[in-house]
Amino acid sequence: MTSRSFSVSIPAEKRSLKCLRAFLRAVLDDVGCDKAEDLVLAVDEACSNVIKYRCRTIDDGQICVTAEFEPAALRVRVGRFCMTQDVGRIKPRELDDVRPGGLGTSFISRIMDRVEFEEEPGQPGCVALVLERALRTASEA
């Protein structure tokens, strides 16, 4: 597989997540990637957190997601995820800590190989969430 990049921008509303999931499934199917539903879950959880928690001072009402495919890896970038000062409060909790909510970051960290934050160019104090995972095509799985 050669390098490919796909981007989508959706309204930061719960009802738009269905469109995001459909877009991601189509892209993952197009590149023939394994574990597509796990990857869709991780990105959906990240975008759900944007809708719930993103600081309104950086919110233009859109969620921008870019998926970059290299021959053996996927890199997903959720733009303007949060403010720098919010990063320290984002922590996965153990799955055996049974209570409602708060498991999205646990799912993300278990599904993805790397979860990082990087500064948004030209937007001081604002960071993007970057998710990476090594890939095998469905024929290699």
For the chain, domain boundaries: 4-134
Locate 15 and state its tokens.
């009802």
pLDDT of residue 139 exceeding 60: no
Query: What pTM was computed for the model?
Result: 0.87
Query: What class is the 4-134 domain?
Result: alpha beta
In the sheet that holds 126-134, the strands lie side by side as 4-11, 62-70, 73-83, 126-134, 114-119
Q: What is the pLDDT of residues 14-64, one digit of tens each?
A: 999 999 999 999 999 888 887 899 999 999 999 998 888 876 556 678 999
